Amino acid sequence: MIPVYIIVAIDSKSGIGKGGRLPWHLTGDLKHFRELTCKTHSPKKKNIVLMGRKTWDSIPKEYRPLNERINIVLTHNKYLDVPEGVLKAENFDQVLTMTKSERLKNIIETVFVIGGQQVYEEALKYPECQKIYVTQIHQAFGCDVFFRDFKDRFVKTKESTRHNEGPLNYHFEEYELKSN
Ligand SMILES: NC(=O)c1ccc[n+]([C@@H]2O[C@H](COP(=O)([O-])OP(=O)(O)OC[C@H]3O[C@@H](n4cnc5c(N)ncnc54)[C@H](OP(=O)(O)O)[C@@H]3O)[C@@H](O)[C@H]2O)c1
């Protein structure tokens, strides 16, 4: 089974976005995101970054698709126009089926679910989703999308020291699905 991991940055009120974008800019978090989602144990493999159509729309055109990773956009719109090499899926089950296909099964290492709210909620329903990488930001931003409480089902396994960038503070955490 290909592991499915969530990666998310959350503010102090569980907010993850505002007005269709991220309301903060944290260079250290972007670096952490890139390192985690690009890194593979096997040099022959790549990771999938799975995102909702609104998150895809929120990435500036010059930065998408996210390089060195296989981008999959979840959308109900089969006419959505995406650049060559970017894959589309109509639901989460279809993504799991794609990872088992002849085309992808030997070249995929991990599926990273990278947002937004709707897609995180979908992913959390699946037992395949074993791990959550959280960037916990210590300030609040008046967000309009949120990451729902997950701590009853997941246990914290790692916590970094605190990082400071300008007026903002944050730290990294890792959670794993409880065994039962
Ligand atoms: N803090 C973080 O780590 C983080 C990470 C990513 C995004 N964000 C923020 O989150 C916000 C976007 O989140 P969002 O919830 O509004 O949108 P989203 O989850 O990015 O995208 C929602 C869209 O994805 C498609 N979709 C969702 N579930 C689907 C399913 N089961 N099957 C098929 N398609 C599905 C639909 O696209 P169609 O309408 O095309 O059918 C839906 O409108 C933005 O503010 C963004 O900046 C934050």
In a domain, 16, yes or no: no
CATH classification at residue 117 = 3.40.430.10
SS3 158: strand
In a domain, 22, yes or no: no
How far, in Å, from the CA of 43 to the mean position of ligand 1? 30
Residue nearest to atom 24 of ligand 1 (CA): 52
In a domain, 14, yes or no: no
Chain segment 15-60, per-residue pLDDT in tens? 999 999 999 999 999 999 999 999 999 999 999 999 999 999 999 9
Phi, psi at 147, each rounded to 5°: -105, 120
In a domain, 18, yes or no: no
Domain that holds residue 39: 4-9+29-177
Closest CA to 48 of 10, 93, 105: 105
In a domain, 21, yes or no: no
pLDDT for the residue 179: 87
In terms of phi and psi (left: phi > 0; alpha: psi -120 to 50; beta: otherwise), the region of 78 is alpha
How many domains is the chain built from? 1
In a domain, 52, yes or no: yes
Q: How far is it, in rounded angstroms, from Cα 63 to Cα 82? A: 13
In a domain, 157, yes or no: yes
Chain segment 108-146, per-residue pLDDT in tens? 999 999 999 999 999 999 999 999 999 999 999 999 999
The residues facing 159 across adjacent strands are 173
In a domain, 15, yes or no: no
In short, whether 71's Cβ falls inside 6 Å of ligand 1 is: no
